[in-house]
Amino acid sequence: MSEQTTYGPLHGGADPEPIRFLDEAGAYAPSATAAEFADELAAVGIDEFKQWYRDMVSTRAFDTECTHLQRQGQLALWVPSVGQEGCQVGLGRAAEPQDHIFPAYREHAIAHIRGVPLVQVAALFRGLTHGGWDVTDPAHGNFHLYTLVLGAQTQHATGYALGQLLDAKRRAADTALDAGEAGTATGEATMVFYGDGTSSQGDANEAMIFAASYQTPEVFVVQNNGWAISVPVARQSRTPLYRRALGFGLRAVQIDGNDPLAAYAVGRRFLRLAREGHGPGYIEALTYRIGAHTTSDDPTRYREAAELELWQQRDPIVRLEQHLRSLGVDDAFFEEAREAADREAKRIRDGILTLPAPEADSMFTHVYSEPHPRIEEQREWLARYEASFAEGAEQ
């Protein structure tokens, strides 16, 4: 990717080509680095590829609708994922149901794949939830909450993965938990998502140290979309990000993040190695944030139009479409998939506008598992405050 204007190998050594199966136009042309992952795709048939395409167009239609809703004042904020659907769908589909996923705030395609109704994702940005995909399940489909405090999810994920390891050791009557001791199969893994900017946070680096020390069953995924709001990745790191992970002792690779096949193949391999007791891995997915950072941001103020155009030509949806066409899939499928996505986005739009606001009192319900006097005090204060608005109440 020598033509990238914002980042490149500044450390002086040559990097291997990012792992990819589809070239930038969508032709099947695996890189030399892809060969060792090719068998992970052997069992993926055309129906799965079609499903991935549906996942991508559904997410994009939803995403576009949410941007409109924000502009119309119906959402407080929206965080677009346009352009990043390729790695998200590949990795989301690579996970098994028992795996746990800790997202940042832009992983809408993965929420969808894990069965979180997208209307609930929109509800979060409409301020209609006090936390949780629904009130009783903050980890629907083992997909944990969106995390806006950059990097916090890396700690949550590593803690969770450590728990998965301890549980497995306990089941195996192996009470030793020595640092660096791999080998305990857990049967389940944890995957955590964050961005290039977040990779500079202390939390993310500490999480890698713990993961390496305890050999947690975990896969770190950095979606390197070129920017942390207005800060280019070249300012965050003088070396490609996956090389940092190598320094922590994780198995780490760089993939073409707009190729869902590469994301799937590497994700599948790394997750399986983690589940089988071979420790953590790290995937740097090279992708691009086509839209604004959020609806509060104007990227034309800090980045070049030429860079955006370059990445628009690498659209993961177009690439998978070309691959499907080369396998004999015709227009009818693509039209139907896009229409279905638009219908679903409209349904979500109508749904979000009629969702009820939660009872204010419910914000106290899930703070602690047992009653707590301070929480009760606050609950009573709120009830008195609300009552003061009732007709006839003393002002």
Ligand X SMILES: Cc1ncc(C[n+]2csc(CCOP(=O)(O)OP(=O)(O)O)c2C)c(N)n1
In the chain, DSSP assigns E strands to 100-102, 190-195, 218-224, 227-228, 231-232, 251-256, 281-286
156 touches ligand X by CB under 6 A: no
Instruction: Give the nearer residue to ligand X in terms of CB position, either 144 or 275.
Output: 144
Using CB under 6 A as the binding rule, whether residue 229 contacts ligand X is answered as yes
Residues 220 and 280: their CA atoms lie apart, in Å, by 8
Query: By CB under 6 A, which span of 92-100, 131-139, 142-150, 247-255 interacts with ligand X?
Result: 142-150
Output 105 or 270, the one with its CB closest to Mg ion. 105
Report the residue number, 79 or 211, with the smaller CB distance to ligand X. Answer: 79
Q: Are 88 and 111 in contact (CB under 8 A)?
A: no
> Looking at this protein, which amino acid is placed at residue 219?
V
197 binds ligand X (CB under 6 A): yes
Of residues 146 and 227, the one with the C-beta less far from ligand X: 227
8 A C-beta contact, residue 305 and residue 23: no
Q: Could you give the CA distance from residue 162 to residue 210 in angstroms, rounded to a whole number? A: 9
Q: Which residue is nearest to ligand X (CB)?
A: 195
244 is an interface residue for ligand X by CB under 6 A: no
Interface with ligand X (CB under 6 A), residue total 15
Figure out which of the listed residues 196, 256, 321, 344 binds ligand X, where binding follows CB under 6 A.
Answer: 196
Residues 6+ apart with CB under 8 A from 350: none
At its nearest, how many Å lie between ligand X and the CB of residue 18?
18
Q: Which stretch binds Mg ion (CB under 5 A): 151-159, 163-171, 189-197, 268-276?
A: 189-197
Confirm or reject binding of residue 148 to ligand X (CB under 6 A).
yes
Q: Which residue among 153, 186, 225, 254 contacts Mg ion (CB under 5 A)?
A: 225
Which of 53, 194 has the CB closer to ligand X?
Answer: 194
Report in angstroms how near the CB of residue 275 gets to ligand X at its nearest: 27
Q: Does 85 bind ligand X (CB under 6 A)?
A: no
d(CA 207, CA 190): 13
Residue 332, amino acid:
A
Site string (261-290) toward ligand X, x via CB under 6 A: ----------------------------x-
Q: CA angle 256-262-264, nearest 5°?
A: 130
Among residues 275 and 293, whose Cβ is nearest to ligand X?
293
Quick one: what does residue 293 bind among Mg ion, ligand X, none, with the CB cut-off 5 to 8 Å set by partner type? ligand X
Q: Residue 25 contacts by C-beta under 8 Å, 6 or more apart in sequence?
A: 319, 322
Stretch that binds ligand X, among 68-76, 92-100, 196-204, 317-325 (CB under 6 A): 196-204
Asked if 210 and 158 count as a contact pair (C-beta separation under 8 A), the reply is: yes
How far is 275 from 188, CA to CA, in rounded Å? 5
Give the per-residue contact string, 287-326, with ligand X (x = CB under 6 A; - = no): --x---x---------------------------------
Query: How large is the angle between the packed helices 46-71 and 85-94, nearest 10 degrees?
Result: 130
Stretch that binds ligand X, among 223-231, 251-259, 318-326, 354-362 (CB under 6 A): 223-231
The CB-side HSE value for 108 (13 A sphere, CA atoms) comes to 30
Taking the complex as a whole, the smallest distance from the CB of residue 135 to ligand X amounts, in Å, to 25
Q: Does 107 help bind ligand X (rule: CB under 6 A)?
A: no
Q: Could you tell me the two tokens for 225?
A: 């979309």
> Taking CB under 6 A as the rule, does residue 76 contact ligand X?
no
Closest CA to 54 of 93, 102, 95: 93
- CA within 13 Å, CB half, 259: 27
Helix axes 46-71, 316-326, angle to 10 degrees: 150
195 binds ligand X (CB under 6 A): yes
Residues that bind Mg ion (CB under 5 A): 195-196, 225, 228
Residues that bind ligand X (CB under 6 A): 106, 148-150, 194-198, 225, 227-229, 289, 293
